[in-house]
Homo-oligomer: A and B are copies of this chain.
Amino acid sequence: MNNTIPEEYLDLLAWEKKAFAHLAIVLRDGAPHVTPVWFDYDGEYVIVNSALGRVKDKVLRRSGIAALAISDPDDPYRYIQIRGKVVEVTEQGAREMIDYLSKKYTGKSYQWYKGETRVTYRMLPQLVSGMG
């Protein structure tokens, strides 16, 4: 395990692959929680986006840690596990970020915005391991 993304798994994080990440967090009561999320990887940080006050927002701010599993949509036996250390939580540019992510996954800007305050989380990959 290491703190960088092995080159042979970089394609899983690429824009063109459009892979979802399964983001796991630990709730206040100590229970795990996992949901599929959109993400981007800018070569250094894994970036996700949520909205102020949601479970993910509260937990990522409090705990500063998440785990991600990113499977190859073309081969479910090939995936990468990443522990993400939250190094930035920001509302700045977060509205643009959800549009950016939406374009990656849907080809269009974000259609479901209802005036919530969007938040962007930048995570530094740690304990990375690939499988398959």
Residue A43 CB within 8 A of the other chain: no
Identify the closest chain B residue to A132 (Cβ): B36
Q: In the assembly, what is the distance between CA of A63 and CA of B30, in Å?
A: 9
Q: In the assembly, what is the distance between CA of A71 and CA of B22, in Å?
A: 10
Q: In the assembly, what is the distance between CA of A24 and CA of B26, in Å?
A: 9
Q: In the assembly, what is the distance between CA of A35 and CA of B69, in Å?
A: 6
The reply to whether B31 and A26 contact each other, CB–CB distance below 8 Å, is: yes
Copies in the complex: 2
Among candidates B33, B36, B83, residue contacting A67 with C-beta atoms closer than 8 Å: B33
Contact flag A31-B76 (CB < 8 Å), given A22-B22, A71-B20: no
Identify the closest chain B residue to A65 (Cβ): B31
Distance in Å from the Cβ of A96 to the closest Cβ of chain B?
Answer: 22
Given contacts A24-B33, A31-B65, A33-B83, 13 further A-B contacts (CB under 8 A): A20-B76, A22-B34, A22-B36, A24-B34, A24-B67, A26-B31, A31-B67, A32-B32, A32-B34, A33-B81, A34-B67, A34-B68, A36-B69
